[in-house]
Amino acid sequence: MLFIASRIILRIVLLKTGNAFFLPPLVKTDVFLISGDSFLRAQKTKVLVAEIEKKTGGPLARQTFALDETPLESILAAARTLPFFSSGQVIFAQNAELMKGPDLAILAAYLENPTHGTTLILESDGLKGTSELQKLIKTRGQLIFLDKDEARGAGATFIQQKLMQYHKTITPGAKARILAMCGEAVMFLDTILERLVQFAGDQNEIDEDMVNRFEENWTEMDVFKLTNALVDRDPARVLKVFRDLMEFYEADLFSLVGILHWQLRQLWQAAMLLKSGVSEREIGSKLRMPPSRLSALKRFPLERLESAVEALYQIDRKSKSGQVDGVSGLETWLLEYAS
């Protein structure tokens, strides 16, 4: 079962350059619907926007909206109003899975007479069957479906590019191990690599043995105190440990969220193995997990674990886009799932 429930994110890219309108070579239509892993979608849209910015000769202004907070009519009104002294703008309208009949009619009407120089990029974690949204976009633009293999390929490329910034190389086995640590949630890859670079120190090559030692080092960190307090359902202890950790990490919230995600994902793997009949001893050996952590799963069932990971992903995404304050959002999340 996937950790992250299906979402669709609508990104409206507006482009205007004087009296001329330029479409970059990559952009052969005015509207896209991109479905697949969120990390891979981010890489894809990054390329699309970069092509547009290259043609306009300058950066695009950006605004973010959520369809559960702002009506589609208001978002499209903003789409028709370009900021002064800008070659264009990017408007992010999230949670587009909320678009039903009336909103689809509004979108269809907009696509009948779109703003000159506007490109729409709609994103989805996963599309099942043939939705009305797909049908609408198919008549006006292009559907792009990205599978997990492509996501892994993009993740591998991202690792290479990230480590090049620090003048480090990585062996194929180490790269595969890092991707395995991320699992399907490659959006946390950047956090893991930042910590791994710190762990590597002056060593230029990162091999599989280093990654294994790095993973063991993570399991020994005090962050496990936070996860333990969470699965023990102890709100007071959760809050105290969290605030101590924020002080220790000097408010490095994104790293803390990444480590929390990794620990919860490991617990999820253990829960799935237990459900399939694998013995606790075998699971402990396979995942390098002590018996005390396995016993904690009795107080934190699989469904609650999956819900917690999904909610954690939402906090990470919204805090990075400025929709919520990360620290207060994470505190609320901890208290909710520790109760």
Per-residue pLDDT, 152: 67
Alpha carbon distances (Å) from 151 to 94, 158, 178, 186: 21, 10, 14, 8
Q: Are strands 205-206 and 61-66 parallel, antiparallel or unpaired?
A: unpaired
Rounded distance, CA 272 to CA 1, Å? 10
DSSP state of 67: T
- pLDDT per residue as tens, the chain (339 positions): 333 333 334 444 433 333 333 333 444 457 777 777 666 677 777 888 888 788 877 787 777 777 778 888 988 888 887 777 777 777 777 777 777 889 999 989 988 887 776 777 777 766 665 578 888 888 888 777 776 666 667 778 888 888 999 999 999 999 988 887 765 555 567 777 887 898 899 999 999 999 888 876 655 455 667 888 888 888 998 888 888 777 655 546 766 777 788 778 878 888 888 888 888 888 877 777 777 777 777 777 888 888 888 888 888 777 777 777 778 888 888 889 888
Right CATH number for 148-217 from 3.30.360.10, 3.30.56.10, 3.30.420.40, 1.10.8.60? 1.10.8.60
Per-residue pLDDT, 182: 67
| φ, ψ at 169 (rounded to 5°) | -115, 165
58 and 31 in contact (C-beta within 8 Å)?
no
Distance of CA 4 to the CA centre of its chain: 9
86 and 61 in contact (C-beta within 8 Å)?
yes
| Topology (CATH) of 8-146 | Rossmann fold (3.40.50)
Per-residue pLDDT, 314: 81
Question: Distance from first CA to last CA of the chain, Å, rounded?
Answer: 24
Quick: pLDDT tens for 157-179. Answer: 888 888 999 999 999 999 988 88
* Domain covering 221-339 in this structure, CATH number: 1.20.272.10
Q: Which segments within the chain are labelled E, that is strand? A: 8-15, 31-35, 61-66, 88-94, 118-124, 142-145, 169-170, 205-206
Per-residue pLDDT, 39: 62
Delimit the domains of the chain by residue range.
8-146, 148-217, 221-339
Per-residue pLDDT, 117: 64
Per-residue pLDDT, 171: 94
Rounded distance, CA 321 to CA 306, Å? 23
Give me 49's structure tokens. Answer: 């926007």
pTM: predicted TM-score of the whole model, two decimal places = 0.48
Rounded distance, CA 42 to CA 60, Å? 16
DSSP state of 113: S
Rounded distance, CA 133 to CA 122, Å? 10
